[in-house]
Chain A
Amino acid sequence: MQRRLLTAVASALLMAGMLSAQPYGRGAQGPCDRACLEGFINQYLEALVAHDPTRLQVTANVKFTEDDTPLKLGEALWKTAGGLGTYKLYFADAQNGQVGFFGTIRENGRPAALVLRLKVETRKISEVETLVIRNANTANNLEKAGTPDPVLTETVPAAERLPRNTLIATTNLYFEAIEQGNGGVAPFHPDCNRFENGMKTSGPQGCSAQLDTHIFDYIQKIYPRRFLIVDEERQTVFGFFMFQHPGDITWVNVPGQGRHEMPGAAKRPFNVDVAELFRIQDGKIRKVEALMTSLPYGAKSPFVPQQP
């Protein structure tokens, strides 16, 4: 009797010990919350720099892409990542089981920036979508900034939060405004600014007036628009957005200024996959932060089903 009790207590203690020793609540039940989701990011980054994907708990059909090319875990950046950098920005969506990350790494000793999206199903990674910005300036700028803008990480009081659908609809207006060359289409916050690949690009005019100039008219279509991670507590929306540049708009008429010649880089066909994070405040776009990589014209996201 005593012995059975001891055995029961011992095995309960052992199991509890084993469970707590498992990283990131692996095997645990219930939704994977912010801490759990961020844990998956950290686990991924540690495995990446160790060049050891076997450390990860993944589903049988895990899908992995780097710069919109499907690969096997262990290929590409998994062979060249040398260490983690200092910039880290997480965004989590417990309802969707998805988590995103902007950060810096070292690749063969050189600074690079990484976009990472994980989809987690029953505590296993089912999707890994990455962009690698192999540009030391981008990574250096992010690291010089130190920490992410606090507006991207502060918890918004529950009473001030917009619902998911409204957050997505507001974000979507940004792309409508670009396509139409009309800042008035999107509700920009007066303090709005935009950082792309580590540089402030919203210019002296600000987010809205800059779009009115039509200098972005070479971005003729932004599609697909994949809104993937809605962080309701922080009122942020993250997704991947394919900017399509056919290259045949070679100049525009800037209202009040006249003819503006497009730069050479815009006068050729190319796509840019933009990983973009939006902070919505008081129903308006307060901050845009993006990391992006240039791709051949016509490049498609492997996560979007293609027509045969």
Chain B
Amino acid sequence: MPKSLAVAILPLLLAAALAAQPPAPPAEPAVCDRACLEGFVNQYLDALVAHNAFGLPLAPKVKFTENDEALDLGDGLWNTASGPGTYKLYVSDPQSGQVGFFGTLRENGTPIALALRLKIDNRRISEIETVVLRANGPTNLGGATNLEQMGKPDAVFSETVPPAQRLSRDALIKAANNYFEAIEKGDGALGNFDKDCNRIENGVQTTNNPSRPPSNPANNWNPSALGCAEQLNTKVFNYIQRIYPRRFLVVDEERQLVFGSFMFQHPGNILSVEAPGHGIWRMPETATSPSFVDVAELFRIKDGKIRKIEALMVRLPYGTPNPFFGEDWRRP
């Protein structure tokens, strides 16, 4: 009888044992919202500076790239990051489970800038794409130090747009894509720019900025003094012959932002252009040798127009393929 009592109690003991276990995760975790996505970025940065990737929640097959080279997680900047920086700009897309980030760090004590994209699947990191702008690298226009001197990101990147004023995801991507069409065709009107549009590249304001010297001093006029649309009309960017692939990856609908990775292709064989109203523009040396520049670029779309652009970019050998893009970079 005591034996059968024990048998009878057994299910209770089992139930108690089960109850003591941590709760099983739900079959389908809730959407990783903005706070969750930004949390992944912060967790990643903490691990990076600690040179310890082991605590990160990783998908079984995580893909990590730095400046378009596939690396093992723990290599590259993971060996050299020495401290956090002060500039932080987040872009969150709960629908696609992706988050973008522009920020600063220290690498062996030197300020550097980082563009980071994480893809989160079931609360685990499955893709890590980074562009690292180093003081000793090419295409450095001032980079990290300038970003930190700006203090914090432009408020237009972090304000919540009332739902009634929001464009759909597709419309946001289309508006951002117009920028690349405008560059390729040398026609500012195609970009549909807001009258207050400005562009920051590697920490430097490259529009409406007469104090920025011309990229080639052999010219006697300065495109940096012009606004977003007028600057493209001058055709000084005609050396950018193709922008492909155009990977629109993170769409922040609440903030009306689009973030992606865009490969600027420079064959290097356009040496000068006739700029309407300005005369001849002689291309700078960097534009007259073959190169690719991988541009991590963020767009704020306002009232359907491009209001602000911020970008971090690195120069790469001509023809460098993006490891996340499986197809030929020669656009069909």
Contacts and interface: CB of A to CB of B under 8 A. Distances in A.
A80 B290 contact: yes
Interface stretch (B40-48, B61-69, B146-154, B255-263): B61-69
A295 B317 contact: yes
Interface in B59-93: 66-71, 75-77, 79-80
A76 B319 contact: yes
Contacts of B268: 76, 79-80, 107-108
Given A79-B268, A246-B79, A66 B317 contact: yes
Contacts, number: 102
A contact face: mostly helix, strand, loop, or mixed: loop
Count class of interface residues, chain A: 20 to 34
Interface in A247-274: 247-248, 250, 264-265, 267-269
A247 B108 contact: yes
B79 A269 contact: yes
A70 interface: yes
Nearest to A297: B76
B320 to A, nearest CB: 6
Kindly name the residue among B71, B108, B319, B320 whose own CB sees the greatest number of chain A CB atoms within 10 A.
Answer: B319
B224 interface: no
A295 B320 CA distance: 11
A70 B136 contact: no
A261 to B, nearest CB: 11
B327 to A, nearest CB: 14
B249 interface: no
A299 B289 contact: no
A303 to B, nearest CB: 15
B285 interface: yes
B196 to A, nearest CB: 36
Interface of A: 66-71, 75-77, 79-80, 107-108, 110, 112, 134, 246-248, 250, 264-265, 267-269, 295-300
24 contacts: A67-B317, A69-B320, A69-B321, A75-B319, A76-B290, A79-B267, A79-B269, A79-B290, A108-B268, A108-B288, A110-B285, A110-B288, A110-B289, A134-B289, A246-B79, A264-B110, A267-B107, A268-B108, A268-B137, A269-B77, A269-B79, A269-B80, A297-B67, A300-B69
Interface of B: 66-71, 75-77, 79-80, 107-108, 110, 112, 134-137, 267-269, 271, 285, 288-290, 314, 316-321
